[in-house]
Structure 1
Amino acid sequence: MCAAPRDRSVFLGLLPWPERSAVSRALRTETVGGLVLLAAAVLALVWVNSPWSAAYDAVRDFHFGMPALGLDLSVGHWTSDGLLTVFFLVAGIELKRELVVGELRTPAAAALPVVAAMCGMAVPAALYAATAAAGGGSLKGWAVPMATDIAFALAVLAVLSTHLPSALRAFLLTLAVVDDLGAILVTAVFFTADLNLLALGGAVAGLVVFYLLQRLRVRGWWWYVPLGTVIWALMYNGGVHATVAGVAMGLILRTTRDPATASRTAETASPGERAENLMRPVSAGIAVPLFALFSAGVSISLPILGEVFTRPEPLGVALGLVLGKTIGIFAGTYLAARFTRAQLNPNLAWADVFALAVLAGIGFTVSLLIGELAFPAPADAEHVKAAVLAGSLTAAALAAVLLKRRDRIYRRLYEAENLDQDGDGIPDIYQRTPGSAA
């Protein structure tokens, strides 16, 4: 298998074949999961606004677990603190892969997506803070509009039936991966409860054991699943949001394959690859949709929708998602490209980057999670959730218009990228001479 080398000075150029294959596998699962996520969110909204809304509250607030271990949680908390840990585990693995073998492995390659993502987090937070301060509202929701929901964004692309080139999809994925890291750091630092140092120390010790098992090349789910569960429980009881455990374990998992030696054959997949292949469908198809089902339930009424645009906190969230993400990502990308002298792929235009920045304003899953942490009071949380929904849907609608205008160009690039006349499973564009690969 040959891989066409890519000129690193070309922004959004042709992805190397191994990287494109890995990105395509990840995005395929996330796209299906995004459609399930959309269905779950619609179901939640219909259920809450139906005559059976009391049943929704009863199911969401039903408690079960092991009180002796401090794990007597409601269904809603099990989905946000438990199931969503699987989502962050996959995010941690994806981030590790990007850092080791992907776009973030070298400073030159990482500059554009990292700067874009950081600006895409900073500007929405600043816009929220300015809006809340101007209206005399609370500043504690500044982190709500920071993250991009990759599954929701890909579901929008699937519904639109766009033919977005792989480089644009990969750039969107990298933005979301860096966003997820920023979100989990914010969660760990700013939304911790009273710390239980003994439990937290036990979680750290468990992570050390997890690391040593990886270093010693110990294999077998019977080691890692019980250990991971204990780490999660200790992290939860330690006062740090339990999803941090998922990211930490994802970053520890090895993502490079061992070569063949005299005593063993070469690995066909690294532990990170195996875990991602197993857990990504669970994350995309079960964990995130169930979280959405029990977090996106908002009563839709004119007073609530009106307060999204009149109260400073929900208005700041909506503006942060729609305007803040767009301005931050586009400006960050443009300035970073100019600073690094990167040349935009001649087949694309800055209008494509702008449309992608608008699409990144869909901040559903992580925004809902941070919203629940920042506004624990049900009345306040409901307004913030309504703002997240309104902002995400507005960003999706605007992005749909912008992307469909360019879909004829995307279709041409997509077909050229996937043309395989010799039927060997590798697109012909990857088998040209290096000078002819664009």
Structure 2
Amino acid sequence: MVDTDDPRVVAAAWSRLAEPADPAAGHLVRALGADAALAWVLDAAAGPDVAERAIRRLHGARPGLPDELAPARLLRAVSRWAPRTRGLDPRRELRSLDLLGGTLLLPGDPRWPRALDDLGVLAPHCLWVRGEPDLGGASAGSVALVGARACTEYGRHVAAELAHGLASRGVTVVSGGAYGIDAAAHRAALAGRGTTVAYLAGGIDRLYPAGNADLLRGVLDAGGAVVGEVPPGSVPSRVRFLLRNRLIAATARATVVVEAAWRSGALSTAARAAELLRPVGAVPGPVTSMASSGCHRLLRDGAAVCVTDVDEVAELALPVGDGLPDGGSGDRARGGTASGAGTPDGLDGVGRRLFDALPLRRAADVASIARTAGLALDETRGALGLLELAGFAVQEAGSWRRASSGNR
């Protein structure tokens, strides 16, 4: 019998019952609460007839449930979850976590990365963590570096340069622990004496892929973290890899695709980041290299900003004025303006957000600035004009940057 009064047990049970990003599970938990939703599922899973009656009672008691919980859809969801209720033992999985020295993070925990809340009903029910459990602190100043497993030496070199530079500035490097670009990013972050976090597609008891097990142990030894949203013993799959990418995109301040072919899974991370209004960067490669064709597509379609060095990545990901880690690399790394001042006084909420999003050096287009600030395009255009009149923004051929002290 599952103890639905213990929040840790309830969250662990949901992470076993429902696949990652299951919208029906997310909506049901939001509607009833995680504990009541779990109790309802455990009752409804007794059989199809029982499930149909339970669904009728639920809709009778709670009119206006979302479409994702319409009777036919909810019945299909229960049929997915029911086989996993047999032998369900979240306490056993929590004991396995304890043996690993790990932590189960729940939403609402001060160490929970609140950026995951932007995923709405697709947010994980919990996070299984080995290593440093303060993912909220790590997420506050972080950049995701992603790309192809079968990368070239060029891609590996660029990933290492970017990761080392970011780590030396105190920026957390986030990636997926895979071969290729991911491994190069984690390894270089460690060499830069920085923190790095790996989000896995399977259980954290299995450091996957096996060829990177020593690297992932190094991540843990250096004060980083290895994180999953499925319980120990869960195996990675193609679908879970793709769904894992939303966690990388959500928890990082920005995502940079270092090297990716036309159909690389790293492009899904970029797409999720864009959906969440996170900045996306892409590193250009040789025009003859198919290994960079995905990056070139992002750049051609305007879905990413071209980045070629750590300064440009920092500018993309860590808008000036955000109070992010001080790496001792000048005003941009410190989050101050060129004159040493922070966000100007006298600006309203929109103005402050927009000022913080303005690049200090290279002018950016309106769409990119709006995405960084999390504002609508028309709202951004109007506010940019006001910032220009106030002497805080400069327009250059239709693009915008922050005004230097000499322009004011």
Q: TM-score, normalised by structure 2?
A: 0.19
With CA pairs under 8 Å and 6+ residues apart, which has the higher RCO, 1 or 2? 1
Larger % of helix: which?
Answer: 1
Larger strand fraction of residues: 2
